[in-house]
Amino acid sequence: MWTGITSSFAFTQWEACIAANLDPYLWDRGYYPPKFRAKVLAWYEGHMLVEQHKQSALAQDAEHRANKAKTKR
């Protein structure tokens, strides 16, 4: 679901870093190798897509149940 909310790439990197339980200070200073950073970002994006799909499915299920309850009345 598109929310229209955007963020900078730097913010996304920090979110990914924190989600992976890494040190943002070391991330900004280039301590982690580029290939590792790329893997962290890919993992984070994949994780976020799964979470969005899960939330969408829950919302659809709730809507389906609400509509089903309305038709029973």
Amino acid 43 reads: W
pLDDT range class, residue 51, cuts 50, 70, 90: confident
- In which region does residue 7 sit, left (phi positive, over 0), alpha (psi from -120 to 50) or beta (all else)? beta
pLDDT range class, residue 2, cuts 50, 70, 90: low
Provide the pLDDT for residue 62: 82
Mean pLDDT of the 9-38 span: 94
